[in-house]
Structure 1
Amino acid sequence: MKRIFLLSFALVTTAQAASTITIATVNNPDMVTMQKLTPEFNKKYPDITVKWVTLPENELRQKITLDVASGAGSFDLATVGAYEVPIWAKNGWLEPLTPLFAKNPAIAKSYNVNDIIPGVRTALTVNGSLYAVPFYAESSMTFYNKDLFKKAGLTMPKSPTWNQMQTFASKIHNPSGGVYGICLRGLPGWGENAALFTTMVNTFGGRWFDQNWNAQLNSPAWKNAMTFYVNLLKKYGPPGATSNGFTENLTLMSQGKCGMWVDATVAAGFLSDPGSSKIVNSVGFANAPVGPGTPRGSHWYWSWNLAIPKSTKQEDAAFKFLTWATSQEYIALVAKTKGTWASVPPGTRTSTYSNANYKKAAGAFSSLVLGAINTADVTKATKDPVPYTGIQYVAIPQFQALGTQVGQYLAGALSGQTSIDQALKQAQDAAQKTAKEGGYQK
């Protein structure tokens, strides 16, 4: 009897160990939906238990980076950005997915990797192997409240300039009525305020580094962009803007408290969802604004992706979840659950944009979003030539720290803790130090 008990215990323990995966993900609405739909995954794979670690964007990046770099193995599946995937793949931190699809022909056939939008797939491929699959992909665009525009007698052009945005904000701003002219990211972080601000710098004619990796953050273009950004938010933004990232501004916009908002295209679906938005019938869409320097780099490219860390001991179970959560089947499930195709994860599959139901539900923004994603060129994002790729980031490993540091200086200028000149000097010094210590300067 004792032997049977021990054998049973061993089998149960082994089964549990083999079928439990821990997923680390950002607390964006799309990922929260994915977590809520875990029971649907369990209907298909009842032997796999899923545990979740859901964190704000900045905190998530720190935790996952430390974990995968050290090989600690805390996570079997991780949400990683377009910035991290090629860098982490080259470091040997991620499991290549192409061999896993080859080992699982039935999954590969139903999944159809070729349905992933070509540019998105290319961004996640290193040396011919796919290292992550997109949960959603995005560019950036302008959202505005049509009712507020009509009341103020304004018309939003398809492709506004930043100067026009400032004029519109001044006419809509009514803080006593609970409405702010414009909402923009102010929360420090390389993927938060630095992302939005870098697109602004691009269109003001600026760049992070010249071709010899000399920092350019003390240039007139950077000063003009930072002065514009700080003045715009101080005059016409909500109070406490340095606490507002994507999630906070989404809440403000969906509650009708922002006249305009420039941010990720993924928000179009959230703002069109009656379950989470009060402005479904009044939200308008336009391209991201351009500055006086160049139209290049006005809208970013980004994707949140699912990847399997090399340190996982649950590769098979992790692969099953990864392919389920980024499949055509999952997209249809979200549409059914949310009651509208407008809320499905965007920017990933060609089949989504050819789907009649999606076209009907997302007709107001789908072509604009797809156009922004397809025209976001990470190799030509600045007026003058640069030695790096990336639109809202510089694709080097050190940028995660540098971008966040510069984002903190930007927030300091916005909150009034430092002057714009002081913030620019601090940012220039940090960028120059990064280039020197990273061995980029000859």
Structure 2
Amino acid sequence: MTLTLRALLGATVSFTLAGAALAETTITVATVNNGDMIRMQGLMDDFYAKHPDIKVEWVTLEENVLRQNVTTDIATGGGQYDVLTIGTYEVPIWGKQGWLVSLNDLPESYDVNDLLPAIRGGLTVDGNLMAAPFYGESSMVMYRKDLMEAAGLTMPDAPTWADIEKAAAAMTDKSKEQYGICLRGKAGWGENMAFLTAMSNSYGARWFDEAWVPQFDQPEWKATLESYLNLMNNYGPPGASNNGFNENLTLFQQGKCGMWIDATVAASFVTGKDSTVADKVGFALAPDNGLGKRGNWLWAWSLAIPASSQKQDAAKAFIDWATNKDYLALVASKEGWANVPPGTRTSLYENPEYAKVPFAKMTLDSINSADPTKPTVKPVPYVGVQFVAIPEFQGLGTTVGEIFSAALAGQKTADQALSEAQTAVADEMKAAGYN
């Protein structure tokens, strides 16, 4: 073989190997515009260092829009996304439909047994882990310790709704744009109805009785909605019917909320660098009404792979990176332990460094106190704390959410809203063949 031919062949081999090394698999990740997800996008250099052959394209959406888009895509087998950010509601329903890919073959280093049992159980279908939790949450009271002290009050670790109303009244000074309480008012099954359904559990209300008959015409729901409207109309911010998680987070960070009852995951943001009241925040369990149930929920924003994805191996590599123990350590090294995605792993809560975080124990206690199999005081035929785990709930929850948001906006009374909700849900359940 001549020297020239050898050189030519060598160059060809080198070019081919270089081309192979440069070959990329591009995956599309649909996610929600929450702080932890935004932070993850800023840490992608670590992922690319470990997976130079995978490129990630992000589709980041507001919560209601995300749900609508991914639901349409997966139900039609559209294949637009390779990784979906979905929650504890969707996973069991979509998993049973065969719409999701099992994650049982994640590497041993992932340590699936380290996932908190309550969170792992909600993401497992017929023995298959169908989604990996990015963060888990319940809900709790976040409050201004300085305003409570100024009012001569002390927040109990386990308050009642009466305690909440008393504190809200004491901390409200509308002339200073200081509102005693901020709660979700934006319509959506995962927005205002997540809060109101959890609240209703503590009042002994149910979405359905054991025969799947809607219960909005019962006194427990009337007490729930009237209490909510009373709190918001008297002590809440203006325009509250437009406020969801992100809007209330901004209000609290700006010092305009005396209390905020919402997702435990918000704790790192109300005590973080963007909060003007970071050193003044206390935490308490979600309120109860003396009936044995607190108004807190159970949720995990999780990453799942739709069966329609053509890039499942690359998608699994991304999910492994984004939800494993190394990622928690990465966030801690860059942002501090308080900003680590919470509520997913036992080892995190056993970590002595994380134990120093002021909201760590309250978050874990809140998660452990929620029981999806017995969400309210009376028996129910469904599973789910702040939702009902049936396919129809996404539409039902949105419809009722719009009705209750209109009541908050002053467009109808509590009685009118409850009557409309009862009729709408009863009609839909009859059409769906439940009764």
* Band the TM-score falls in, shorter-chain normalisation: over 0.9
Percent identical pairs in the alignment equals 52
Q: Distance in 1 between matches of 2:60 and 2:22?
A: 25
Within the candidate set 61, 66, 85, 2:72 is matched to 66
1:272 Cα deviation from its structure 2 partner = 2.2
Matched residue type, 1:278:
T
Aligned-residue offset at 1:12 = 6.2
Aligned to 2:82: 76
Amino acid at match of 2:283: F
Give the whole-Å Cα distance in 2 for the aligned partners of 1:416 and 1:22: 42
Q: Which of 277, 280, 285 is the aligned partner of 2:278?
A: 280
Q: In the alignment, what sits opposite 2:331?
A: 334
Write the distance in 1 (CA, Å) between the matches of 2:284 and 2:292. 15
Counterpart in the other structure of 1:229:
228
Match of 1:30? 36
Instruction: Describe the shift of the 1:14–1:357 C-alpha distance in structure 2 as closer, same or farther (beyond 3 A).
Output: closer
Paired AA for residue 427 in structure 1: A
Q: State the superposition RMSD in angstroms.
A: 1.8
Secondary structure of the residue aligned to 1:281 is helix
Whether the aligned pair in 1 keeps the contact of 2:199 and 2:296 (CA below 8 Å) is: no
- Number of residue pairs the alignment of both structures matches: 423
AA of the residue aligned to 2:354: Y
- Which of 381, 384, 387 is residue 387 of structure 1 equivalent to? 381
**Matched-pair contact (CA < 8 Å) for 1:296–1:380:** no
Match for residue 258 of structure 2? Answer: 259
Tell me which residue corresponds to 2:295: 298
19-28 or 374-383: bigger deviation: 374-383
1:145 deviation in Å?
0.3
Could you say which residue in structure 1 is the equivalent of 2:182? 183
2:140 is aligned with 1:126: no
Cα offset, 1:291, TM superposition: 2.4
Structure showing greater radius of gyration is 2
Aligned CA distance change for structure 1 residues 237 and 13 (closer, same or farther; 3 Å): farther
Query: Are 1:377 and 2:371 an aligned pair?
Result: yes
Q: Post-superposition, which runs of at least 4 consecutive aligned residues in structure 1 deviate over 2 A?
A: 11-16
- Give yes or no for contact 1:388–1:394 (8 Å, CA) kept in 2: yes
d(CA) in 2 for partners of 1:291 and 1:191? 23
Q: Which residue in 2 is equivalent to 1:343?
A: 339
Q: What is the rounded CA distance, in whole Å, between the counterparts of 2:119 and 2:415 in structure 1?
A: 38
Q: Alpha-carbon deviations, 1:70-124, whole Å to 9, x = none?
A: 11100000100001001000111101111x32xxxxxx23211111112211111
Q: How does 1:146-185 map to 2 (within 5 A)?
A: 146-185=145-184
Q: 1:297, 1:380 within 8 Å by CA — same for their partners in 2?
A: no
> Are the aligned partners of 1:200 and 1:291 in contact in 2 as well (CA < 8 Å)?
no
* TM-score, normalised via structure 2 length: 0.94
Specify the code of the residue in structure 2 equivalent to 1:77. Answer: V
Report what 2:419 is aligned to.
425
Correspondent of 1:366 among 345, 348, 360: 360
Counterparts of 1:76 and 1:426, CA distance in 2: 39
Describe the superposition over 1:164-204 as per-residue Cα deviations: whole angstroms up to 9, x where unpaired. Answer: 21111111101211211100000100000001011121111
Q: Which letter maps to 2:296?
A: H
Confirm or deny that 1:314 pairs with 2:311. yes
Shift of 1:317: 0.8
8 Å CA contact retained: 2:265, 2:342:
yes
Q: CA deviation at 1:286?
A: 0.3
Amino acid at match of 1:346: P
- AA paired with 1:272? T
Q: How much has 1:14 moved relative to structure 2?
A: 11
In structure 2, do the counterparts of structure 1 residues 15 and 68 end up closer, same or farther at CA, with 3 Å as the change threshold? farther
Contact 2:286 2:294 in 1 (8 A): no
**Aligned partner of residue 232 in structure 1, secondary structure:** helix
* Matches of 2:233 and 2:333, distance apart in 1: 42
Q: Scaled by the length of structure 1, what TM-score is found?
A: 0.92
- Counterpart code for 1:394: V
Distance in 2 of aligned mates of 1:379 and 1:403: 19
Q: Give how far 1:418 is off.
A: 1.4
Which letter maps to 2:308?
A: S
